[in-house]
């Protein structure tokens, strides 16, 4: 119970800090923070798949990009569409894609699954590139954000500050739900399946359906992040759906660490901030990002969050008291 109240206080404090940010930060940094929040949901959704369920997918950008493109296409082709309906259509499209792809791919395990997801990501990318009349191809699609309709009133989202607040509330709520999810029956089921899928079958769990549900769920979350990505930049290009976007998420998640829920969010902060400053300094920033990734995987497999937890343990001697060995298992149970 104590753990729980600490977590709740942390969430409230972070939210309040988030509310004050527009008064403190310059537009440039507020812009960056909005991007960080959007990518955080993308990273958290990916880590539910990789860290919690142990499924290595190289195709997460297919969902992110699908959400992003469907958003732009819906706004362009359906005049006067409301913001909520755009979000609904974007997420619905990724749910459908998740069910179809999951149904096709999930019977394969391990590296076969990983390679097939990569192939599908490449397929989505190819479609986005070639289907010029719909996706704009290399030119991408420009949109303007619809107003936020709240029934009694309508708030224009053209200013960054109002859009930032919308992002904070919706992405924040989705991330908090993901955190809650890791403690639910389904959240625990996916961890147990990672630990011992065979036994789960003999305990009455349909592991194929579980995996399909999780795959679709995390895809839909990535799609939601993609919707906000398009809202944020008011533009979508093929880079949103390219395998590079999958590489980016891998980098963020590995730098932050997969073992702890908030690890990937830390990774996003580091990635976005680094990328912004590095790209100011040198055009070869991807080289340095790549080097950081290699070094992290080789020497700090737990990621930055792992390092922080180690330091915390060393100084405060705080041990897991619930008997589970992995930090992740701990989170899922506490």
Partner 1 sequence: MRNYLHIHNIHKDFSGLQVLTGVEFKVQEKERHAVIGPNGAGKTTLFNIISGKFKPSSGAILFKGKDISGKPPHILNRYGLSRSFQITNAFQELSVFNNILAGVRSRYGLRYNFFKKPNQNREICEKVDAIIKEVGLTDVKDQPASSLSYGQQRALEIGITLSTEPELILLDEPTAGMTREETNQAIKMIDQVTAGRTLIIIEHDMEVVFSLASMISVLHYGTILVSDTPEKIRNDQRVKDAYLGEG
Report the interface residues with partner 1, using CB under 8 A. 181, 183-186, 188-189, 192, 195-196, 198-207, 209-210, 213, 217, 321-326, 329, 333
Q: How many CA atoms lie within 13 A of 210 on its CB side?
A: 21
* Nearest CB to partner 1, comparing residues 47 and 189: 189
d(CA 271, CA 4): 29
Tokens 């055009």 appear where?
283
Least Å from the CB of residue 206 to partner 1: 5
* Nearest CB to partner 1, comparing residues 154 and 313: 313
* Nearest CB to partner 1, comparing residues 209 and 307: 209
Least Å from the CB of residue 80 to partner 1: 33
* Nearest CB to partner 1, comparing residues 73 and 192: 192
d(CA 334, CA 328): 10
Tokens 């999951």 appear where?
102
* Nearest CB to partner 1, comparing residues 158 and 196: 196
Least Å from the CB of residue 67 to partner 1: 20
User: b/e per residue, 205-223, with b = 16+ CB within 10 A?
Assistant: eebeebbbbbbbbbbbbbb
Pull the structure tokens for residue 328.
């992740």
Least Å from the CB of residue 197 to partner 1: 11
* Nearest CB to partner 1, comparing residues 136 and 223: 223
Helices (H), the chain: 2-24, 27-47, 60-77, 83-105, 110-130, 132-135, 160-181, 185-202, 207-233, 243-256, 263-281, 285-299, 303-316, 327-333
Least Å from the CB of residue 322 to partner 1: 6
Least Å from the CB of residue 1 to partner 1: 10
d(CA 113, CA 197): 16
């Amino acid at each position: 119970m104590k753990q729980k109240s600490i977590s709740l206080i942390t969430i409230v404090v972070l939210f309040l800090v988030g509310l004050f940010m527009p008064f403190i930060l310059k537009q440039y940094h507020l812009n960056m923070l909005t991007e960080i929040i959007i990518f955080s949901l993308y990273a958290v959704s990916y880590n539910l798949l990789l860290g919690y369920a142990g499924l290595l997918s190289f195709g997460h950008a297919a969902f992110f990009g699908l959400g992003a493109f469907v958003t732009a296409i819906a706004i362009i082709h359906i005049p006067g569409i409301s913001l909520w309906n755009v979000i609904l259509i974007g997420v619905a499209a990724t749910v459908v894609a998740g069910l179809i792809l999951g149904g096709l791919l999930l019977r394969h395990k391990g590296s076969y699954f990983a390679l097939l997801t990569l192939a599908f990501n490449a397929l989505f990318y190819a479609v986005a590139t070639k289907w010029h009349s719909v996706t704009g191809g290399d030119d991408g699609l420009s949109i303007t954000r619809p107003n936020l309709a709240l029934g009694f009133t309508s708030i224009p989202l053209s200013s960054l500050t109002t859009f930032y607040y919308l992002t904070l509330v919706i992405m924040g709520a989705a991330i908090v739900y993901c955190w809650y999810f890791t403690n639910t029956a389904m959240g625990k089921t996916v961890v147990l399946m990672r630990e011992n899928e065979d036994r789960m079958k003999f305990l009455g769990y349909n592991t194929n359906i579980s995996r399909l549900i999780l795959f679709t769920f995390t895809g839909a979350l990535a799609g939601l992040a993609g919707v906000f990505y398009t809202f944020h930049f008011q533009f979508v290009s093929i880079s949103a759906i390219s395998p590079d976007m999958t590489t980016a998420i891998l980098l963020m998640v590995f730098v932050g660490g997969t073992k702890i829920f908030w690890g990937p969010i830390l990774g996003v902060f580091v990635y976005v901030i680094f990328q912004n400053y590095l790209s100011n300094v040198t055009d070869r920033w991807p080289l340095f990002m790549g080097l950081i990734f290699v070094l992290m995987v080789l020497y700090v497999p737990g990621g930055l969050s792992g390092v922080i937890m180690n330091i915390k343990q060393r100084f405060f001697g705080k041990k897991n008291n619930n008997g589970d060995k992995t930090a992740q298992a701990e989170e899922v149970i506490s």
